Amino acid sequence: MDEKPRNVSGSLCPAMSSAEILGDKWTLLLLREMFLGTTRFGGFQKAIPRMSPSILSKRLKTLEAAEIIVRKPFPAAQAGEYRLTRSGRELGPIVENMAIWGMRWRKRSIAAQDCDVGGFMWDFHRTLNTQGLPDGETVILVKISDRRELNAWWVIANGDAVDLCPDDPGHEVDVYLTAPLSTLVALWLGDVSVKDAIDAKTAFIEGDRHLTNSAQDWMAQSPFVGVKSAVAGP
């Protein structure tokens, strides 16, 4: 295990001490994933595809050395799972408030940034509102019209369980959602409604009539969609 983090700044400020461990984009994304329920190395890779395995391993070791997480090995298996400790769980409100602050003050920047398609679709599939879907299996084919690669994703929902497939799983598709990535992000952030996107012809939904008519009910949205942007000023 790595040595415990050193006080690089030389400051006795507790906020600085915390920042030396947490003040890194990859670390915050990693913690966010843990609060969303991810516990396995492979799960982190799927959720944060731009994070290299070496960086992921290093950040996990840093959090483990800081006693924010613990690694629990599985019997007769190399892979284990990572769990938050008591101090790690106390970071929950901090990470949540950072997300709320970002939605209030940085939403325009968030919407305009070059997001990773795989990472976005991972968020999309796990925030699908399954309560708005009929009983049984529902297959949604999301087609990203402005991407040459990774432009088709199958979202398979059955009850509360939702799976994401970048390759055709061979299931019959119930509804097709076609839009550029920017529109999908706007729908997910709550910046535009399904009706407005369809009226503007930036999104197209075809397939089962009930599913097309109720698309706003099942559409995936950020957990922070209700946070309103703040007006800049003193």
Within a domain: residue 8?
A: no
Judge if 120 and 44 occupy the same domain.
no
Domain finish residue from 84, 105, 126:
105
CATH number, position 131: 3.30.1050.10
pTM for the whole structure: 0.83
Among the three residues 65, 81, 105, which one is the final residue of a domain in this structure? Answer: 105
Q: Which residues 6+ apart lie within 8 Å of 90 measured at CB?
A: none
In a domain, 5, yes or no: no
Question: Is position 179 within any domain?
Answer: yes
193 in the same domain as 214 = yes
Give the CA angle between residues 133, 139, 145 to the nearest 5°.
110
Residues 53, 144 within the same domain = no
pLDDT at 4: 56
For residues 98 and 127, state if they share a domain: no
The CATH number covering residue 73 comes to 1.10.10.10
Residue 204 lies in a domain: yes
pLDDT score for 233: 57
Domain boundary among 105, 139, 172: 105
Q: In the block, which residue shows the tokens 């938050």?
A: 84
β-pairing verdict for 152-158 and 137-144: antiparallel
- Asked whether residue 38 is assigned to any structural domain, the reply reads yes
Query: What pLDDT score was predicted for residue 212?
Result: 97
Q: Is 152 a member of any domain?
A: yes
Kindly state whether residues 47 and 78 are assigned to the same domain: yes
Instruction: Report d(CA 66, CA 51) in Å as an integer.
Output: 21
Instruction: Supply the range of the domain harboring residue 89.
Output: 14-105
Residues 118 and 189 in one domain: yes
The pLDDT of residue 1: 47
- 87 and 56, same domain (yes or no): yes
- Output the pLDDT for position 73: 85
Whether 33 and 78 map to the same domain: the answer is yes
Question: Has residue 7 been placed in a domain?
Answer: no
87 shares a domain with 33: yes
- Report the number of distinct structural domains present in the chain: 2
Q: Which of 218, 117, 145 is CA-nearest to residue 175?
A: 218
Buried b (16+ CB within 10 A) or exposed e, 133-142: beeeebbbbb
- Residue 78 has a pLDDT of 66
Is 227 domain-assigned?
no
Q: Do 119 and 193 share a structural domain? A: yes
Residue 38 and residue 78 share a domain = yes
| Residues 101, 150 share a domain | no
Per-10-residue mean pLDDT, the chain, length 234: 56 82 91 94 92 95 95 76 96 94 81 80 96 97 94 96 96 97 94 96 97 97 89 62
